[in-house]
Amino acid sequence: MAIAMTLLTLALLPFAAALAIAQLHGAPRAVHSGIAGGASAAGLALLASLAAPALGGDVPFVRWDWVPSLGLDLTLMVDPLGWMFGLLILGIGLLVVIFAHSYLYENEDTGRFFASLMLFQGAMLGIVIAGNVLLLLVFWELTSLASFLLIGFWQHKAEARQGARMALAVTGGGGLALIGGMVLLGLIAGSFDLQAILARGDMVRASPLYPLMLGLILLGCFTKSAQFPFHFWLPHAMAAPTPVSVYLHSATMVKAGVFLLARLWPVLAGTELYTVTVTTVGLVTMLLGATVALFRHDLKSILAYSTISQLGMLVMLLGFSLEAAALAAVLHILNHAAFKAALFMSAGIVEHETGTRDIRRLGGLAKAMPVTAGIATLAAASMAGLPPFGGFISKELMLYQTPKLALAGLPWLLPVLATLGATFSVAYSLRFAAHLFAGRPREAGPFARAHDPSPAMWAAPALLTTLAVLLGLVPMLLAAPLVSAVTGAVTGSAPPEVELGLWHGVNLALILSMLAVAGGAVLLSRHAGLLSLWERASLPDAKRMFEITLRLADARVRKALVATHTPSLQRMLLASFAIMILLVIDGALTGGGVLTGTRPGLPANLPAVAAWALLIAATLAVVLESHNRLRALVYVSVIGLVVSLAFAVLSAPDLALTQISVEAVTVLLMLLALNLLPKKPPVISSRMRKTRDAAIAIVGGVLVGGIAWAMLTRDPGPSIAAFHLANAKPGGGGTNVVNVILVDFRAYDTLGEIIVLGIAGLGIFALLETAGTGASGARLRAWRADMPHSPERHPMMLVAASRIILPLTLAVGIYLFLRGHNQPGGGFIAALVVAIAFLVQYLAAGFDWSDARKPFGEHNLIGWGVLVAMATGLGAMALGSPFLTSWFDYFSLPLIGKFELASAMLFDTGVFLTVLGAVMLALAQLSHVATRAARAAEEAEGAP
């Protein structure tokens, strides 16, 4: 149980932090970063407590059923691979939070930043500790979304928005492929449980679906990890604030693809197809990234392409399908995380303190900012793979493995190309350090500003660089046990013996490594000449190609849409009605053809017939007078009235109450809208069109009426009514069976409905809130009253009466609410009545007066309503019952006597709050817009 709670807390902690930060939006920056850092540190502590079992082979895991019918369990597990990635995510996360605290400028929305960052942390952590591939997919998608939010954090910058969109399109598109691949994998393996899948590698590789599945999964991995030809999004993602680049685009998210390759190694690796594809893609990416990085000028762009190159190397190593290569990959993941995060932070510091990231404008900064220079130079040396740094060891291991695989039948090809890639990475690493910090300043302005930041800002990169150095000096102490355990977890076999060190004697790897260093130095010395060569070559621009592809796809989709959906609502509705009518006719013909059943009818009395006649007449009047819109509304309300009467007579008091209150609110709403809409349609349809529509309408009406008649004259089939009636009182604690069904038996439905209603209210808010801008705003300002208005805006009698009525109506609402469980009433009806009570105030005293005195915000009502309803359901779960199980008991108090308390009442409160919020939001917003328009009109008239 302790392990289960630890795992669950670990998974939920970042999300809780994100929520808390978002709630404390207005708080000072220290609160936001404090929560984020605290949560990261707490997560680290939890992870540390799991170290012994996770690395010792006794993998902590916990499983709850979630949707068992889909094979989706909530399974969390921390094996060595997950533990190592968790360490990176939380450790670097903590450092990034510390760094970002100083990095973000004044007046930035730190609440949004840290909330998004923690959302990402939770998603990423979810990927690495998910024990079910479907769960992993959920988190996978969440990282794409969080990355979108973070890249586009500076919303006012076009490149940030474009970069965010591009990243989402590429990684999200890859995510779609991954979903297909993972589902196929689960179907082939016969389980979606990760541990079960990993045990069935032979079965998966033998399946005829293996190539398809592999292709889809690799698409997901390659897009996420920016592998060629999907690498182009990563440089554009650099529009994000630097802490985001550190965290997502070097240390964690882009490694998700690498992680997944490692995770699924026992299932995917080993086949010819896998080895050739993955190795080639990795190799090409490594070469391409390293080459481009050498010729970039933006510091972050250099680092982005170098990240692409390093990710290519990791993918290539995993593609070898050799244990020793996997070991090299694991070690390099650690190394890369350390030096690349440090380098990104250094780049961020340079930008922060000089105002530019263009390496052509900088130089000689070692004098102005010695601490930053020291940190970045050491990290760059590790990236270059120079001894005695960590990067040297993993690069040696990589080069040592290359001769073991013959690409295209040529055993020398891989070592030569890998050495070439290494040469370029030496060159760009050295350039980064040398052009930035050595030599003389190229421009005076940035240099004059430059200075070392406060220790709070360089502490994080300094720590990371120290790690990068120590990984080279004492690898056996620092990394060997972890690397061994993780490699075992990747390959799915016993942890191998690990021998890490700087000196292994003179061997091929050392010779290649020395060649690379020498070559890199030569490349750097010839950089200027190479650069002009590079700039003269016309190279394809990935961003342009991406945009052209998008535009083509967009045009195609538009064409297809226009071809399949004629862009006319009228025609589409006509087709829908016609098809429905044909279906009904078809059903009637095959059904036996007897219209009237045998059930005896209830004889109707005279008032009922009169009401019926009123309804028919009102319907006809609505149709015939629909061009006089105000009058049509009056007729509609007559129909609503008759319908509520029908409910009242036909044993449905709850429905009658609901219908009549909804009626009042609907008519108010339509009146408000009509105030701004044109009162009369300018053109009336042609006679022919009307005749055609009338024919369809009459056929439809006769058919539906016929179905209703056929149904009403037959006895119902077996019903579950008896169950509801028998269990309402003993099981649900209420005698109003309809209400008990709503808040207990079918409370899940109700929960869904109030959420839908809340969304509708918020949607209306979104539509009206922005109505004051653009073309819409201009029309609102040009609006003129086109109906005679009362000279008295707020008639005294109405105002006085409405204020007296308010407490009375509220009392009625509360009464209806309280008795709802046992007598007609309940949350829905009470909310409508209370809403009407408030709306009458708006009507009588105007929007401004009422809105200023309103004690609640509608958004909060909706939010709290849904939360209360959900919390009630979760409360039942916490007590060990299924979601939304209700509880009730009887108590007695002196004076008051015996009374009942039921959890259903709490749920009904949630219903009440949401419905009240949604109704008020819709009407108050509309009345607000109308008020604004009227005021603008008055001002225009007052000042001719």
Partner 1 sequence: MSYEFLVASAIGVLVAGGIFLALRARTFQVVLGLTLISYAVNLFLFASGRLVLNRPPIWDKAVSEYTDPLPQALVLTAIVITFGMTAFVVILALRSFLETGSDHVDGDRVPCDAQDGLADGLADGEGTEP
**In the complex, what is the shortest distance from the CB of residue 757 to partner 1, in angstroms, rounded to a whole number?**
5
By CB under 8 A, tell whether 651 contacts partner 1: yes
Chain centroid to Cα 283, Å, comes to 33
Alpha helices in 370-507 (DSSP H): 370-384, 390-401, 413-437, 444-449, 455-473, 475-478, 480-491
Place of tokens 């929305």: 109
**Integer CA distances (angstroms), 105 to 25, 120, 241, 353, 710, in order:** 17, 21, 10, 12, 72
Residue number, 367 or 558, with CB nearest to partner 1: 558
Binder of partner 1 out of 202, 586, 749, 941 (CB under 8 A): 749
Q: Tokens at residue 638, please?
A: 């007559």
Min dist CB 495 to partner 1, Å, is 52
Q: Site for partner 1 (CB under 8 A): which residue of 107, 564, 568, 790?
A: 568
* Residues 158-197 contacting partner 1, CB under 8 A: 158, 161
Neighbours of 247 (CB within 10 A): 29
Residue 67 or 573: the one with the smaller Cβ distance to partner 1 is 573
Q: From the CB of 593, what's the least distance to partner 1, in Å?
A: 18
Return d(Cα 176, Cα 734) in angstroms, integer.
Answer: 48
Q: Which residues of 312-328 are buried (b: 16+ CB within 10 A; e: fewer)?
A: bbbbbbbbbbbeebbbb
d(CA 340, CA 246): 8
Cα dist from 102 to 24, 110, 240, 813, whole Å: 19, 11, 16, 53
Verify binding: residue 557, partner 1, rule CB under 8 A: no
Closest contact distance (angstroms) between CB of 702 and partner 1 is: 6
Collapse the DSSP code of 935 into the 3-class scheme (helix H, G, I; strand E, B; otherwise coil) and give the result: helix
Q: Judged by CB under 8 A, which of 746, 854, 859, 932 binds partner 1?
A: 746
Ramachandran bin of 321, using left for φ above 0, alpha for ψ from -120 to 50, beta for the remaining angles = left
Instruction: Considering only residues 590 through 609, tell me which ones interact with partner 1, judged by CB under 8 A.
Output: 599, 601-604, 608-609
* Residue 719 engages partner 1 in binding (rule: CB under 8 A): yes
Looking only at the bridges linking them, the beta strands covering 897-902 and 61-67 are: unpaired
Query: Which residues, numbered 800-839, are part of the site for partner 1 (CB under 8 A)?
Result: 822-824, 828, 832
Q: How far apart are CA 628 and CA 79, in angstroms?
A: 72
For residues 106 and 426, give the distance between their C-alpha atoms in angstroms, rounded to a whole number. Answer: 38
As measured in angstroms, the least distance from the Cβ of 881 to partner 1 is 22
**Smallest separation (angstroms) from partner 1 to the CB of 558:** 7
Judged by beta carbon, residue 185 or residue 632, the one nearer partner 1 is 632
Which residues lie below 8 Å from residue 74, measured CB to CB, with a gap of 6+?
63, 64, 65, 66, 132, 135
Using the rule CB under 8 A, which residue among 409, 540, 567, 718 binds partner 1?
A: 567
Shortest gap between Cβ of 543 and partner 1 (angstroms)?
Answer: 15
- Least distance to partner 1, CB of residue 302, Å: 28
Phi and psi of 934, rounded to 5°? -65, -40
Residues in region 142-161 near partner 1 by CB under 8 A: 158, 161
Structure tokens at 747: 């409370």
Nearer CB in complex with partner 1: 577/887: 577
Q: Is 569 near partner 1 (CB under 8 A)?
A: yes
C-beta of 362 vs 930, nearer to partner 1: 930
Backbone φ and ψ for 897, nearest 5 degrees, come out as 95, -160
Residue among 470, 622, 871, 937 that touches partner 1 (CB under 8 A): 622
Query: Which CB atom, from 155 or from 881, has the smaller least distance to partner 1?
Result: 155
Q: How many residues does the structure list for the chain?
A: 944
Distance (Å, whole) CA 368 – CA 641:
82
Shortest distance, CB of residue 245 to partner 1, whole angstroms?
Answer: 23
Strands (E), 52-176: 61-67, 72-77
Q: Which of 550, 557, 711, 808 binds partner 1 (CB under 8 A)?
A: 711
In the beta sheet, which residues pair with residue 358? Answer: 298
Q: How far apart are CA 370 and CA 600, in angstroms?
A: 98
Q: Which is nearer to partner 1, 9 or 735 (CB)?
A: 735
Q: Which of 693, 805, 815, 888 binds partner 1 (CB under 8 A)?
A: 693
CA atoms of 429 and 240, how far apart (whole Å)? 22
Q: Which of 211, 355, 492, 701 binds partner 1 (CB under 8 A)?
A: 701
Q: Find the part of the chain contacting partner 1 (CB under 8 A) among 248-256, 369-377, 509-517, 753-761.
A: 753-761
Please tell me whether residue 612 binds partner 1 under the rule CB under 8 A.
yes
Q: Which residues of 271-285 are buried (b: 16+ CB within 10 A; e: fewer)?
A: eeebbebbbbbbbbb
Closest CB to partner 1 among residues 526, 784: 784
**Out of 696, 812, 871, 936, which residue is the one contacting partner 1 (CB under 8 A)?**
696
Is the Cβ of residue 482 or residue 915 nearer to partner 1 in the bound state? 915
Exposure string over 67-101, b if 16+ CB within 10 A, otherwise e:
eeeebbbbbbbbbbbbbbbbbbbbbbbbbbbbbbb
Question: Residue 742, interface with partner 1 (CB under 8 A)?
Answer: yes
Compute the least distance from the CB of residue 875 to partner 1, in Å: 22
- Of 73 and 858, CB closest to partner 1: 858
**Taking CB under 8 A as the rule, does residue 549 contact partner 1?**
no
- Rg of the Cα atoms in the chain: 35
* Minimum distance of partner 1 from residue 572's CB (angstroms): 10
List binders of partner 1 among 754-783 (CB under 8 A): 756-757, 760-761, 763-764, 767-768, 771, 773-780
- For 52, counting Cβ atoms within 10 Å of its Cβ (0-12 exposed, 13-18 middle, 19+ buried), the class is exposed
- Looking at 409, 593, 716, 880, which residue binds partner 1 (CB under 8 A)? 716
Beta carbon of residue 220, minimum distance to partner 1 (angstroms, whole number): 27
By CB under 8 A, the count of residues binding partner 1 is: 119
Stretch that binds partner 1, among 250-258, 291-299, 362-370, 572-580 (CB under 8 A): 572-580
The yes or no reply on residue 584 touching partner 1 (CB under 8 A) is no
Nearest to 307 by CA among 383, 376, 394, 397: 383
Of residues 504-533, which lie at the interface with partner 1 (CB under 8 A)? Answer: none
Classify residue 62 by its DSSP letter. Answer: E
Options 212-220, 497-505, 744-752, 839-847: segment touching partner 1 (CB under 8 A) = 744-752
Interface positions, 658-677, toward partner 1 (CB under 8 A): 658-659, 662, 665-666, 669-670, 673-674, 676-677
Output the CA torsion sign for 726, 732, 738, 741. negative
User: Is the CB of 56 or the CB of 705 nearer to partner 1?
Assistant: 705
CB of 759 to partner 1, least distance (A): 8
Question: Looking only at residues 46 through 85 of this chain, which bind partner 1 when binding is defined by CB under 8 A?
Answer: none
Interhelix angle for 903-942 vs 858-878, to 10°? 170
Question: Closest approach of Cβ 574 to partner 1, in Å?
Answer: 6
Asked if 825 and 657 touch (Cβ cutoff 8 Å), the reply is yes
932 binds partner 1 (CB under 8 A): no
Q: Does 587 bind partner 1 (CB under 8 A)?
A: no
**Closer Cβ to partner 1, 766 or 874, answer by number:** 766
Contact at 8 Å (CB) between 527 and 431?
yes
Determine, following the binding rule CB under 8 A, whether residue 639 of this chain makes contact with partner 1. Answer: yes
Among 507, 525, 549, 626, binds partner 1 (CB under 8 A): 626
In order of 672, 791, 935, the CA distances from 930 in angstroms are: 7, 17, 9
- Using CB under 8 A as the binding rule, the residues of this chain from 780 to 799 that contact partner 1 are 780
Q: For residue 466, count CB atoms less than 10 angstroms from its CB and return exposed for 0-12, middle for 13-18, buried for 19 or more.
A: middle
